[in-house]
Structure 1
Amino acid sequence: MAEPKDDKPKLPLAGLMALLLAAVSSLIIYQGPIKTSRPIDKEAEKSVSVRDRVQSRLWQDPFEAVASHIQKEKASKEEGHGHHDSPGLLEGASTTKETFHFQVMPVFVDGSPYASGVESRLRDRYALVSGLGAAGYLPESGESIRYFEWKLAAGPVSIVPAEWFVPGPRLSTTNQHEQPDAQPILVLWLKEQDLGAKPLQALTSLVSHLNKEMKATPSAYRVLGPRTSGSLSAMLDELKATTTAADVTSVTVSHPRPPALQGATFYSSWATAADPVLLGESAVPQTAKPVEDRFAAAGLTLIRTIGSDDALANELVVELKRRRIDVTAPSKRPHIALISEWDTLYGRSLPRTFVAVAKRLAEEAQALPVQTLATHLHALRDERYPDWVHRYSYLAGLDGELPPKDNGKDAPGAKGKSGDKGAGAEAVEETPVGRSQLDYLRRLVEQLKREEVTSDGEFMAIGVLGSDVYDKLMILQALRKDFPHALFFTTDLDSRLTHPSQLPWTRNLVIASHFGLELDPRLQTPIPPFRDSYQTALFYSVLRAVDTLEAVQGKTVLELSSGAMFSAEVMPRLYEVGRHGAVDLSPDPMPRAGSLPSIHLPRPDVDPATGALRLPSLRTIGLLLSAAGLMFLCALLINSELWWLCRGRRLVGFLAVPALVGVIVVALLGGARLDGTAGEPLTFTEGVSVWPTASLRLLAFVLCVMFFAHSWWRLADNAKWLIRRFRFHRMNDARTTPSSHPFLGIHYWRPEPAGSVQAAVLWQEYCSRGRILARARRIVPQAMAYGGFGVLLMLQFGFPVMPCRGEACFSLNYIILGCSVVAMTLLMFYVVDATRLCRRLIKIMIGATIEWPDRLLAREAAKQSVDQAYVHEWLGIQFIAKRTAVISAMIYYPFVIVFLMAVARHSYFDRWDFPAGLLAIFTLNALYAFGNGVFLRRSAEEAKHEAVRQLKHRLKSLSDEPVGKQTKRRHIERMVELIEHTRDGAFLPFTQHPLFGAIALPTGGTGLVFLLDYLATLF
C-alpha cells in the first residue's frame, strides 16, 4: 500500500473561522423600525375645543390643523367660524395695547396641496420652532394655534395661522434666566401662493390689516421669505425703479416704498437663483449685491442667509475637476448631461448657471479675459449650450400624483405608491397614458443612450438639477443602471436621498449644498439634525432674525449671544451619499492665524485646529501593535513548528513580511493625506472611498510576493527531499544542454533518441529549466503579450472607472493597481509555467524508459517484498505524486489573487464597475490557471494508466507460466494495486484536489473553507 500522508491541517482554521463567524453573527443587531407604545383610545375626543384656538402640536402643519378645525366647525355649527374673522391676537395680554411691544414674523411657506408641499410645511415649522427655542423663545401653547381670515383685494379669503412666542431661557447657553430685553414674537404663516403675483403689495395689505385690527403697531417686522426664487424675482419687479422725464434735461428716478413695511427685514433662506437671473441678465448693476441694493433703495433690508446657485455651480465644477472630469479644459472637454424641470425658474436657471460658471472658470484657467456671469447667462438665453453639454428637461411631478379629494379618497393618480406595487403594477404605471410621466422618463433614458453613441464619448457626469426630491429619485432610479460609469451630482442635501431604500441609485451621488443637516454644536444646541438643508437654512435665519446670532465688525463676523464668534462667510458644503448617510467632503480651507470657525458642523475626519485629516491616534496604534504582538507570542507558544521556524535562518524572511506590510500601511496613510480635505476620504464602511480597494490590492501584491517566495521555498525543499528519496545525488553528475529556444517555452525539451534516460539526467534537465532565469525568459514575454491583449480588450469595451478624488489619490491608486496587476499576471504565468514544466516531465517519463539507481531499486523491492524488476513503474508514480503534490497546491495562488482583485472592485467599497473587458480578463486568468491544473492531473493519470498497462502486459505474458512462477504474478499484482490506490499529489480524488477548492473559492463560504484548510496545512 502507499504510504499514508496526513494532510489534515495542524491548525483548525476552518473550524475556528466558522466559530468566529457564528459569534459575530450573534452580535449583529437588526435595526428594525422604531415603534410607539403610546395607547390610542379610539372612543376619546379627537380634539379639544377652544373658542379662539385650534388644536395643533408644534410639529404639525398649521394649515392642516386649521383646515381640520374649520371642517369640524362647519359640520357641527351652522353659524360657521365667524369668531376668527378678525385677528384679535392681543386678547388676554398681560399689558395694555399701548405699552405692549412685540415683533411680527411673517413666514412664507409652500402652499401647494401636494405631498411635497405638506412635507415642506412640516419641516419649516419644525425648523422655525427649533430656532426660536434655541434663541430662548417659548410657544404660547404647545398644543394649540390661533388663526384669522384675511381677504386680499380682488382675491379669495386666505387663512393665516398665527402663534405667539414669548421670551424664556435660551437653549444655546447654560444661563437659564429669561431675557429682559426680548420682545414677544407673533409668527404669521403665509402661503406664498396666496400672495399672488405681487407678494410685496399683498404683504403690505396684510400688515396694514393686522395693524388696524389689533390697534397696535409692532416694533419690527422680521420676514422669513420669500419662499422661492420666482417670488423674490417678483418682489424685485415690484421694487424696480421708475423713470419720469419732465423735460429733456430733467429726469426723476423714483423707487417704490411700501409704507407699512418700512424698516422691515427679509431673511431669504430659500431663494438661491443668481443675481443676473433675478434681475434680468442683460441689465445687472455692477455692484457687489445688486439684489440687496434694490431692497435698500425701497427702505427694506434683504439678508440672503443662503448662497446663490452660482456658488454651488462653482463647487460642482471644481469637484468634477478633482475627479478628473475637467469641464474647464481648453480642449476635449468631457461630455456631461444636465437634467432639470423647465416649468420653474429654478429648474430653468440652474443648468444655465452651471454652464456659465464653467465658462468663467475656463477663462480663468486659460488666462483669457474673464466675462461676467451675467454676460455668459445672457449668451445662453436661447438654450444654446456648448457641444460638451447635453441639456434635457421634464415637467415637475413625474409620478403624476395629485392631492387627495375632499371626500378623503385618494386621487386616481395617487393610489398605490410605487414602492408598494409589484412588477405588474409598475409596468401598468409606465403605460403611456394618463398623468404619470414615467414613460417619458424611459424614453429620456433611451435618448441619452442614443446621444452617447452619436457623440464622441460617453457621459462622464450627469447632473440631476431639479427642485423636487421625488423627481430626482425617479430620475436616478431610471438612469443609474444604464450609465454605470457616469458620476451623478445634484444640489441641496435631503435625508430622503440617503434613506436606505433609495441607496441602490443614490449611493455615491455628489451633492453640493449651502447647508448640511446641522450647524456647529454651539448653534445647533440640543436639537437633532434636520431633514434637509433648507431646514438648516431656516433655523440659521431664525437665529439671525431674533439677533441671537448678530453680524458685527462690518458684517464680517457673527457673534452668538453667548459670546462665541463665527465667520460671516457661509461657504457651500459638499457631500457624497454613503452607506450610512451623507459623507462630508467639504474642502475646508486650512485655518489661518486669527481666522474664525465656520457656522457649519466641522468634518468629523478633520482636525479643526490644523485643518488636516485625522490619523489613528498613537494610543490606537499602540493597542493594535500590542494585540498583534500578543497574538504572535501566543502562536509561538502553542505551535512548535513556528517556534523552530523563528529560530532558524528563515526568521529574517519571516519578519520581512510584516515589516513590508507596515511600511506599505504607513505609506498608504501618508498618501491619503497628500490631497488634504480636497482628496479622497479615508473610510472603510461608507462605500465612498477607494482606500479599502487600494488596501486589498496592496494585500494582493504582498500575497503575490509571499506566494512567489513560499512556492520557491516549497519547490526547493521538495527537490531536496526528492534527491534524497530517489538517490539522485548518488548518480554521476550529468551536464545538461541549455535550450536553444528559451523564449519559445518548453516544447523543444525532448527525451534521448535511444528511448531511455537516466532519472538523474532527466531530473537535472528539469531543474535547469526551472531556474529563475530560465523561467523569467519564458514568463516575461508571455506576460507582456497577455498585457497587450488586456489593453486591446479595454480599448474595445472601455476602461474601468477609477472613482478617485484628488491627484494624489489617482497617482497612488494607479501605481498600486499597476503593481498588483503585474504581480498577479507574473504569478499566474509562474504557476502555469511550473505546471506545464511538470506536465512536460511527466510526458517524457511516459514515453521513455527511466533508469533508476540500482540501490534505489533494491531498497524499494525489499520494502515492498517484490522482485526488483517490478518497481520501476511504482517509482515513477511515486516520483510524480510527490512532485505534483507541491505543484498542484500552487493552483490556489492565482485564484486567491484573482478573488481578491475582484472583491476589491466590489461596489460595497465605492463606485466601482465591472466592464465586459475586465470580466473577460478575470475569467481568462482563472480559466488559464485552472485549465493547466486540469491538464497536469490528466497527464498524471495518463502516467498511472501507462504504468498499470505495462505491468498488466507483463502479467499477461506470465499467463502460461507453470505454478512455480506464480510468485512473479503476485508481485506484479501487488504493484498494480499499489499504483491504482495511490492517493497523493495529482492523484487525489477530485473533491480533495486543490482544483476543486479553486473552483469553489469564488462561491464564497465553501471555497473559503477549502482555502483555510489548505493554508492550515502550511503551518
Structure 2
Amino acid sequence: MWDDPFTHVYGDQLQEIASKVPDLLAASDVTTILKEKLGDDGRIMYLVVPVPGAVHTDRSGLESHVRKRHAVELALANQGFNLSFPNRMTYRPSKLTYHFSTRAAEIKSPSEVDQEPPPSERIEDPDAAVDRTGDPPVEPPMDRQSTAVTIDPFLPTKLYKHRNTDDYILITWIQETHLGKQPLSTLYDILQPIVVDTSDKKNAAFALLGPTFSGSLRDLVRDGKQLDLTQQSDRTVASFFDDWGLGAVVCNTSCTASDRSLGLSAGQTDLKIGSHRFVKLIHTIGSDERLLTALQRELTLRGVWPSDGSTNKLVIFAEQSSLSYVEEMQKSLFETSNQQPVVIPYLKDIADSGSQSSGGDSRGDHSTVKDYLNRSMQELGKMASSRLINPSRVRAVGILGSSWEDKNLILEKARPIFPVATFFTTELDARYSLPDFNSHTRNLVVASHYGLGVRGRSNIFGRVNNIPSFRDGYQTSAFIGMSVLCHAFLEKKLKDDRFEKYYGDVSQDLFDLVGRRQTKASASISQSYLQPLAFEIGNGNPIQLSATQSPKYLPLRQPAGVKSIHEHRPLIWTIVVAMIGIFLAFNFLAAFSTDASNFRDRLRNGYTATYELFQK
C-alpha cells in the first residue's frame, strides 16, 4: 500500500511483461470473478479514484499518488475491509475515448470550433492532453471536426471485501489527465465493461473520490449539464448513471474553488446528468474564501495585515499557471486587503524545472529556470536599496501556489530579503517541519482546511484517534472522504439526502462536514462544521492555532488547538508594564533600605557570574 498504484505502468515495463503477468485481466474476467463473489445477495460499490497525471520521474507526482492510496486503503481498513495481498495490484487493459472538446463545442460549426475558446472553457492543466502513464502521448486529431481519439491505458484495479459481511468495493485508479473534456463519457468507458449487470444495479453503487483539480470538477459539472438526451450516445451515458440501487455519489476532497467558479449554485447537493437524472455531490473540503478568512484573522492578530492608515506593506509571490483556483485565491486576497499588494509572479514548477535542467552553463540565455528566481530576488534587493520597497515596512509576505517544492524554494530565497516579515501560505504539508528546511520555514503561518490528523468517534471512523499523522491536509481530506463513503455504503445511506449522526439533540451531517451545502455563508459557521485552521511551523512540528475548539461530542472534529499568543496582546503588555513598574519601584526603595540594596547587588552579581559562565 506504500507504492504508487501506477508503478508498473510507467514506460514499457507492463507492455513487456503483459504476457507473463497473471494479474493482467480483461474486463470479462473481472465480471466473471465479481459474479462468483457477489452471488445473489452481495453488494458492491464501484469506486473510481483519479490521481494527478505525472511523469514517473516527477517526485512530487509520485508522492501525491502514494499519499492518495495510503489515505484510501487506511480508511478501508478502518471501516473493516480486508487488505488482502497489500503488495499486489491488478492492471486491466482498457479502451477510453479521450475528448478534446466539450459536448457543446462538438455541435458547433467548423469555423466556431477553430476559434479560441474563452478562458473558462480552456483546458486547466496544460498537460491535460498528455498521457503520463508511459503509453504513447495523446495527440490531437488532425481533423478539427473530429474532437476525440481512442487511448488504451492500463488501469490499476483492486477488489476489497468486508471482513464480516458480503460487501465489496472495487477501486479503479485513473490518471486525471485521461478524463478529458467529457469526463462522464470517460467514466462510462471505465466502468461499463466491468459492471456485472448494467440493466440491474439494485445491489450496486457508483462513487467518484475526486477529482483532484477544481478545473476537472468544473468540467464534470458542465458535462452533466450538456448531455443531450435526444442524442443516442448521450442517452446511453446518462442512463448508465441512473438507477444505481445503492446510490451514485461524487465526493470532492480537494477542489477548493468557489461554487460559482465550479458552475454550482449555492448549496447545490446534486450534479445534473441530462435533464432529470442526478448524482449526489458531497464535499469534505471547504472553499478558498474560508481559508483566506482564517489566514487574515491570524495575520490581523499579529498586527501585520495592512489596515487603513497603516504603513505596513504586503508582498505576494503569485504562481502564474492555468490553475484557476490560484487566480481566484489571489483575487480574493486583493479584495480583502486595504492596500494593493506588491505582486511578484513566478512560473509553476520552478523548483522542479531548475533541478532537472542541465547545470553546466550558467550564462544568461542558458541559465536554469531556478536562476530566474535568483534574478527576481536581486531585483527585489535593488528595489529595497533604492527605497521603492522598504523591507522594514514589508510586514507580511505571502506565497500563493500549488506546488510545495515551489513554495519552499521561494521561502528559502525570500527570507533574507524581508528579515522582519511574517511569511504565510496555504495548505499544510509535513515537510515544512523537516530539519533540512526548518531554518527558513520556522514561524511560517499556514492556513489549511485540515491539519495532519482529525478526531472522531471510533464506532463511525474506526481508530481515527490513533492514526499516525498524515503528510498534508489533502491526504487528511481524502481519508475523511473515503471513510464517509465506506460508512454510508455499509449503512445503506448513499441514496439519502442527509447522513446525520446525533449526540442528544445535536447532529452532524456526514454529507456536509464543512457546510458547503448551506445557502447562506453565515450558516457554515456552526460548530457542527469543520472550520479551516491556522498553523505556525515550530522547531519540530506545526503548531495548530485555534481560537475555538470543535465540540468533543461531534462524530468528527478538528483536534484541539493552542490559542495564538497574539490573542493575549493586551495581557502581555500589562505584564511588561507591571514588570517595569516593579523594577523602578525596587530601585527607588534600594536607595533608602540596606536590605533592598544588598538584595539588588546579589541579583546583579548572580547575573554577571551566569553571563560570564556561558561566555566561556
Normalization by structure 2: what TM-score? 0.72
Offset at residue 809 of structure 1 (A):
4.7
Q: Deviations over 1:500-529 (max 9, x none)?
A: 211101111111111111111533154322
Unaligned runs of 5+ in 2: 98-148, 510-526, 592-596
Aligned residues of 1:88 and 1:214 also touching (Cα < 8 A): no
**Aligned position for 1:259:** 239
Q: Deviations over 1:44-75 (max 9, x none)?
A: xxxxxxxxxxxxxx22111003448x626616
**Aligned position for 1:321:** 300
Aligned residues of 1:84 and 1:148 also touching (Cα < 8 A): yes
Offset at residue 437 of structure 1 (A):
2.4
Aligned residues of 1:323 and 1:806 also touching (Cα < 8 A): no
**Aligned position for 2:401:** 466
Offset at residue 233 of structure 1 (A):
1.8
2:282 counterpart SS class: strand
User: Is residue 88 of structure 1 aligned with residue 67 of structure 2?
Assistant: no
User: Is residue 65 of structure 1 aligned with residue 33 of structure 2?
Assistant: no
Offset at residue 546 of structure 1 (A):
1.4
User: Is residue 340 of structure 1 aligned with residue 318 of structure 2?
Assistant: yes
2:150 counterpart SS class: coil
| Count of residues paired in the alignment | 514
User: Is residue 542 of structure 1 aligned with residue 482 of structure 2?
Assistant: yes
Distance verdict in 2 for CA 1:208–1:157, change over 3 Å: same
Aligned residues of 2:209 and 2:250 also touching (Cα < 8 A): yes
Offset at residue 401 of structure 1 (A):
4.2
Alignment of 1:217-296 (within 5 A): 217=201, 219-240=204-225, 258-262=238-242, 263-279=247-263, 285=265, 288-290=266-268, 292=270
Quote the Cα distance in structure 2 between the aligned partners of 1:144 and 1:346: 36
Quote the Cα distance in structure 2 between the aligned partners of 1:485 and 1:136: 51
Quote the Cα distance in structure 1 between the aligned partners of 2:534 and 2:401: 17
The correspondence for 1:391, drawn from 304, 324, 343, is: 343
Quote the Cα distance in structure 2 between the aligned partners of 1:598 and 1:430: 57
1:143 counterpart SS class: coil
User: Is residue 108 of structure 1 aligned with residue 50 of structure 2?
Assistant: yes
**Aligned position for 1:611:** none
Offset at residue 556 of structure 1 (A):
8.2
Q: Deviations over 1:211-251 (max 9, x none)?
A: 3899985610111011111211222232346999xxxxxxx
Which AA in structure 2 matches 1:576? E
Offset at residue 90 of structure 1 (A):
4.0
Quote the Cα distance in structure 2 between the aligned partners of 1:117 and 1:87: 32
Distance verdict in 2 for CA 1:545–1:82, change over 3 Å: closer
User: Is residue 476 of structure 1 aligned with residue 411 of structure 2?
Assistant: yes
Alignment of 1:378-457 (within 5 A): 387-401=339-353, 413=356, 432=364, 434=366, 436-449=368-381, 453-454=387-388
Quote the Cα distance in structure 2 between the aligned partners of 1:558 and 1:498: 36
Quote the Cα distance in structure 1 between the aligned partners of 2:374 and 2:585: 44
**Aligned position for 2:137:** none
Q: Deviations over 1:729-767 (max 9, x none)?
A: xxxxxxxxxxxxxxxxxxxxxxxxxxxxxxxxxxxxxxx
Quote the Cα distance in structure 1 between the aligned partners of 2:254 and 2:446: 17
**Aligned position for 2:513:** none
Q: Deviations over 1:669-725 (max 9, x none)?
A: xxxxxxxx3x41xxxxxxxxxxxxxxxxxxxxxxxxxxxxxxxxxxxxxxxxxxxxx
User: Is residue 183 of structure 1 aligned with residue 167 of structure 2?
Assistant: yes
**Aligned position for 1:505:** 440
Aligned residues of 2:95 and 2:152 also touching (Cα < 8 A): yes
Distance verdict in 2 for CA 1:810–1:446, change over 3 Å: farther
Distance verdict in 2 for CA 1:132–1:87, change over 3 Å: farther
Distance verdict in 2 for CA 1:525–1:216, change over 3 Å: farther
**Aligned position for 1:141:** 85
Quote the Cα distance in structure 2 between the aligned partners of 1:122 and 1:494: 15
Which AA in structure 2 matches 1:393? P
User: Is residue 163 of structure 1 aligned with residue 95 of structure 2?
Assistant: no
The correspondence for 1:489, drawn from 402, 417, 424, is: 424
User: Is residue 122 of structure 1 aligned with residue 66 of structure 2?
Assistant: yes
Quote the Cα distance in structure 1 between the aligned partners of 2:286 and 2:311: 28
Which AA in structure 2 matches 1:540? I
**Aligned position for 1:208:** 192
Distance verdict in 2 for CA 1:455–1:484, change over 3 Å: closer
Offset at residue 290 of structure 1 (A):
4.6
Which AA in structure 1 matches 2:260? P
Distance verdict in 2 for CA 1:259–1:223, change over 3 Å: same
Alignment of 1:33-52 (within 5 A): none
Distance verdict in 2 for CA 1:578–1:600, change over 3 Å: farther
Taking only the aligned residue pairs, the percentage that are identical comes to 23
Unaligned runs of 5+ in 1: 1-57, 169-177, 245-253, 360-385, 403-411, 416-424, 606-676, 681-803, 832-885, 898-996, 1007-1019
Distance verdict in 2 for CA 1:818–1:472, change over 3 Å: farther
Aligned residues of 1:139 and 1:164 also touching (Cα < 8 A): no
2:329 counterpart SS class: helix
**Aligned position for 2:536:** 576
Aligned residues of 1:334 and 1:388 also touching (Cα < 8 A): no
Which AA in structure 2 matches 1:537? S
Distance verdict in 2 for CA 1:333–1:143, change over 3 Å: same
2:64 counterpart SS class: helix
Aligned residues of 2:361 and 2:367 also touching (Cα < 8 A): no
Offset at residue 435 of structure 1 (A):
7.3
Aligned residues of 2:47 and 2:207 also touching (Cα < 8 A): yes
1:546 counterpart SS class: helix
Asked which structure has the greater CA Rg, the reply is 1
Which AA in structure 2 matches 1:1004? F
1:545 counterpart SS class: helix
Distance verdict in 2 for CA 1:294–1:82, change over 3 Å: closer
The correspondence for 1:812, drawn from 574, 579, 596, is: 574
Quote the Cα distance in structure 2 between the aligned partners of 1:162 and 1:117: 20
Aligned residues of 1:109 and 1:191 also touching (Cα < 8 A): yes
Which AA in structure 2 matches 1:149? P
The correspondence for 2:604, drawn from 893, 901, 909, is: 893
**Aligned position for 2:545:** 585
Aligned residues of 2:500 and 2:507 also touching (Cα < 8 A): no
Quote the Cα distance in structure 1 between the aligned partners of 2:435 and 2:388: 36
Aligned residues of 1:97 and 1:215 also touching (Cα < 8 A): no
Distance verdict in 2 for CA 1:164–1:587, change over 3 Å: same
Distance verdict in 2 for CA 1:116–1:66, change over 3 Å: same
Which AA in structure 2 matches 1:123? R
Q: Larger % of strand: which?
A: 2
Quote the Cα distance in structure 1 between the aligned partners of 2:402 and 2:362: 22
Distance verdict in 2 for CA 1:130–1:502, change over 3 Å: same
1:137 counterpart SS class: coil
Quote the Cα distance in structure 1 between the aligned partners of 2:612 and 2:267: 61
Q: Deviations over 1:144-168 (max 9, x none)?
A: 1111111222132212100111002
Alignment of 1:554-569 (within 5 A): 555=498, 557-558=500-501, 568-569=528-529
User: Is residue 531 of structure 1 aligned with residue 471 of structure 2?
Assistant: yes
Aligned residues of 1:87 and 1:214 also touching (Cα < 8 A): no
Distance verdict in 2 for CA 1:388–1:449, change over 3 Å: farther
Which AA in structure 2 matches 1:396? K
Which AA in structure 2 matches 1:162? T
Distance verdict in 2 for CA 1:184–1:354, change over 3 Å: same
Alignment of 1:507-656 (within 5 A): 507-520=442-455, 522=458, 523=461, 524-547=464-487, 555=498, 557-558=500-501, 568-589=528-549, 596-597=553-554, 599-603=556-560
2:315 counterpart SS class: strand
Aligned residues of 1:275 and 1:291 also touching (Cα < 8 A): no
